[in-house]
Structure 1
Amino acid sequence: MKYVIMIHSNPQPWGHPTSNYLPDYQDMPPEQRERLNSEFEKMLGELHENGELLTGEALGAPESSRLYRWGDGKPLVTDGPYSEAKEHLAGFFLIDVDDHARAEEIAARFAGPGETVELRPTMWAGGPA
């Protein structure tokens, strides 16, 4: 089963890794930040080694995005990233796991100080992948 883990963040200024720009993360002692970073890198390595991590990408600054909506019988383009929101999609990871419980376990490990993580199953041809 494939799932997308989406990292939502509200850093100012925009940058990656997003945690470096979040007050909750910046307020931590340096040794705690180093431990969290090390644990995260170790987790990514383990997921890659066991074939569960398919890919991951950071996304560019939210103000560089454009929205395309249908209106007046044609596509209308506006600045993005999406409707009035403070948090923006900062990046994603695509995982392939045996079941939903494993996806939940992994997604919980992605949640860091000041960040919101969304887990969503993928779909192909109108049904679950």
Structure 2
Amino acid sequence: MKYVILIHSNPQPWGHPTGDFIPENQALPAAERERLNREFEALLTELSENGELVHGEALADPTTSTLYRWKDGEPLATDGPYSEFKEHLAGFFLIDVAGPERAREIARVFSGPGETIELRPAMWPGGEEG
């Protein structure tokens, strides 16, 4: 089953890894931040080695985006960010796992202070809805 893990964040200034730029994460003791980073890196290594990680990408600053909306019978392009909210999509990972339990287990490790992690089944090919 394929799932996408969407990372919503509000780092100022913009940068990756997003946790390094989020006040809630920066407020943690250094040892705790290092532990969380080690756990995350270990998970990425595990996912890569066992074939569960299909792909992942960090996304550029949302002010560099272009938004297309349909207006008057054609697409109208406007400069980003795509949303008026402070939180925006910072990156994503596509995983292919045995089932929803494994997907939830992985998403929990992606979650960190000041970020929202969205776990969503992919529809096709090979997704829960596919």
**TM tier relative to shorter chain:** over 0.9
Query: How far did residue 82 of structure 1 move?
Result: 2.1
Q: Deviations over 1:35-63 (max 9, x none)?
A: 11111100111111111111110000010
Gaps of 5+ in 1: none
Task: Give aligned-pair identity as a percent.
Answer: 67
For 1:30 and 1:22, how far apart are their aligned partners in 2?
Answer: 14
SS of the residue aligned with 1:123?
A: coil
Moved more, 74-83 or 7-16: 74-83
Q: Deviations over 1:14-40 (max 9, x none)?
A: 000000000011111111111111111
1:128 aligns to 2:129 (yes or no): yes
What does residue range 36-115 of structure 1 map to in structure 2 within 5 Å? 36-115=36-115
Give the CA RMSD over aligned residues.
1.4
For 1:118 and 1:81, how far apart are their aligned partners in 2?
Answer: 19
The residue aligned with 2:21 is 21
Q: Deviations over 1:64-106 (max 9, x none)?
A: 0011011101110112232321101000000001111211111
Length, aligned pairs only: 128
For 1:110 and 1:39, how far apart are their aligned partners in 2?
Answer: 9
For 1:110 and 1:69, how far apart are their aligned partners in 2?
Answer: 31
TM-score (norm 2): 0.93
For 2:103 and 2:29, how far apart are their aligned partners in 1?
Answer: 30
Q: Is the 2:39–2:109 Cα contact (8 Å) retained in structure 1?
A: no
SS of the residue aligned with 1:60?
A: coil
TM-score (norm 1): 0.93
For 2:83 and 2:65, how far apart are their aligned partners in 1?
Answer: 12
Structure 1 counterpart of 2:79, which letter? D
